[in-house]
């Protein structure tokens, strides 16, 4: 396939390429194809914020609702300097497919604000969050669209969103967002859920490929919420985590890195760089270093036409959204790499968000063991469904996941009928 590098690296193009291919394989009705190819609603907001130095600044934010056919919109809010509408569109579409793959009653949505959270004070972040929420007031809600954390946002951001929404409604509405702190309607196990999901799908992949946890070498890219929890849980489960690649440096130890110690080190120092239990390594080179599992858990476009042919991993577990471009997919397919696609591999987060939403609406909170057990049930079933689908239809795992998801969403639309 010959496409320009700009197009290859545009997440919306990456999503659309897979969607078109899967829709064609499914022989999706042309009208349904038109409905599902583009988002239902795209909102752009401009947010005036009084900065700490007294200056007024205006930030731009987005919320895209790709589909609300199977339930309320669902998906995170990203704070990053390079967020743009095409990226949010792609991420919103991926949420639709992700929720359908794990068969939870949500559509797909995503939000973003163009800002650099590393350079903003807590007060400024709070003001951005509250104004963003206020601008979206009529578009979000437990039955409409339920935001959650993503890159650059966290439990505190969700607490501010929940509080702002609740002030406008004149009542506490915990189920308007998920990923909240525990004592204001958060769920036990939500924080670790995306990383736990990566562990669960890797375990399933090992079973399929006749491999064992012991001695399986893992390289994790990204050490934020997803990467650090995935690495820690895999380390504790007996995998050998030999490499960690972060944006500011990498670590390598052929005998395995003690991830519990690394988590403590990062908490103290704010970085993994300088950790005494491993050698310093080039984060880019770690992606192509020999290992059994490569888990990209940071952001988009990490595996591209530039490095895909040098990847040595047998399994790629996509903790991030969109880490592999569609051109890289073809190269990896030729190399017979077993890909656990993002819309399955990182679906643990939104699945636990679903449990949080259910608990908030019931006002009854589950033990962590219940959350983890339900999470495992859903992810194991979804993994089996995707791999089965791939075998039956002779397509790769990613296309199988898209086909399964598109088919479920299309079926729902047909059943509901189109208000046209
Ligand atoms: N931001 C996460 C994702 O991309 C979680 C979304 C959610 O929990 O709604 O899946």
Task: Name the residue of 11, 83, 194 to mutate for ligand 1: max ligand atoms within 8 A of Cβ.
Answer: 194
User: Ligand 1 center to residue 145 CA distance, Å?
Assistant: 12
Domain 41-174 has CATH 3.40.50.10860: yes
Our answer on whether the CB atom of 76 is closer than 6 Å to any ligand 1 atom is yes
User: What does the pLDDT look like over 289-302, one tens digit per residue?
Assistant: 999 999 999 999 99
**193-345: CATH topology:** Rossmann fold (3.40.50)
- Give residue 2's pLDDT: 59
pLDDT of residue 3: 77
Alpha carbons 118 and 208: distance in angstroms, whole number: 41
Catalytic residue among 110, 180, 240, 266: 110
> Count of CB atoms within 10 A of residue 32's CB?
18
Q: What's the pLDDT score for residue 264?
A: 98
CA 93 to ligand 1 centroid distance, Å: 12
Residue 110 known to be catalytic: yes
Mutate to test the pocket of ligand 1, among 15, 75, 79, 198 (most ligand atoms within 8 A of CB): 75
pLDDT, tens only, 318-361: 999 999 999 999 999 999 999 999 999 999 999 999 999 999 99
Q: For residue 42, what are the β-bridge partners?
A: 64
Domain ranges for the chain, please list them. 41-174, 193-345
- For residue 6, the model assigns a pLDDT of 87
Asked if the domains 41-174 and 193-345 are classified in one and the same CATH topology, the answer is yes
Ligand 1 atom with least separation from CA of 353: 8
Any ligand 1 atom below 6 A from CB of 224:
no
Of 292, 331, 290, 341, nearest in space to 309 by CA: 331
Q: Would you tell me how many other CB atoms lie within 10 Å of the CB of residue 25?
A: 16
- Which residues of the chain fall short of a pLDDT of 50? none
């Amino acid at each position: 396939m010959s496409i320009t590098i700009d197009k290859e690296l545009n997440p919306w193009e990456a999503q659309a390429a897979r969607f078109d291919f899967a829709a064609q394989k499914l022989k999706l009705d042309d009208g349904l194809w038109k409905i599902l190819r583009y988002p239902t609603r795209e909102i752009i907001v401009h947010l005036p914020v009084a900065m700490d130095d007294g200056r007024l600044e205006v930030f731009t934010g987005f919320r895209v609702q790709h589909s609300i056919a199977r339930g309320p919109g669902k998906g995170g809010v990203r704070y990053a300097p390079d967020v743009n509408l095409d990226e949010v569109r792609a991420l919103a579409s991926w949420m639709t497919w992700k929720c359908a793959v794990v068969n939870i009653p949500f559509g797909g949505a995503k939000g973003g604000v163009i800002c650099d959270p590393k350079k903003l004070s807590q007060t400024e972040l709070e003001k951005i969050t509250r104004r963003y929420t206020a601008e979206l007031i009529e578009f979000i809600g437990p039955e409409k669209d339920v935001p959650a954390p993503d890159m650059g946002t966290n439990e505190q951001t969700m607490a501010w969103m929940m509080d702002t929404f609740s002030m406008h409604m004149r009542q506490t509405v915990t189920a308007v967002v998920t990923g909240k702190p525990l004592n204001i309607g958060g769920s036990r196990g939500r924080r670790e859920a995306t990383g736990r999901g990566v562990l669960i799908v890797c375990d399933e992949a090992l079973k399929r490929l006749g491999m064992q946890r012991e001695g399986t070498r893992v390289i994790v890219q990204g050490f934020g919420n997803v990467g650090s929890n995935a690495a820690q849980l895999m380390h504790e489960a007996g995998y050998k985590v030999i490499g960690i690649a972060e944006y500011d440096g990498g670590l390598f130890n052929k005998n395995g890195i003690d991830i519990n110690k690394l988590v403590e080190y990062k908490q103290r120092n704010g970085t993994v760089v300088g950790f005494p239990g491993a050698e310093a390594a080039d984060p880019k080179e770690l992606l192509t270093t020999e290992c059994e599992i490569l888990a990209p858990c940071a952001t988009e476009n990490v595996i591209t036409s530039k490095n895909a042919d040098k990847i040595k991993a047998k399994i790629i577990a996509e903790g991030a959204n969109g880490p592999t471009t569609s051109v890289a997919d073809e190269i990896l397919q030729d190399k017979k790499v077993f890909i656990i696609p993002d819309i399955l591999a990182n679906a643990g987060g939104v699945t636990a968000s679903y449990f949080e939403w259910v608990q908030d609406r019931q006002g009854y909170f589950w033990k962590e063991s219940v959350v983890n057990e339900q999470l495992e049930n859903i992810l194991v079933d979804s993994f089996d469904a995707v791999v089965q689908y791939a075998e039956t239809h002779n397509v790769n795992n990613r296309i199988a996941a898209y086909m399964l998801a598109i088919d479920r969403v299309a079926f729902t639309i047909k059943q509901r009928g189109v208000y046209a």
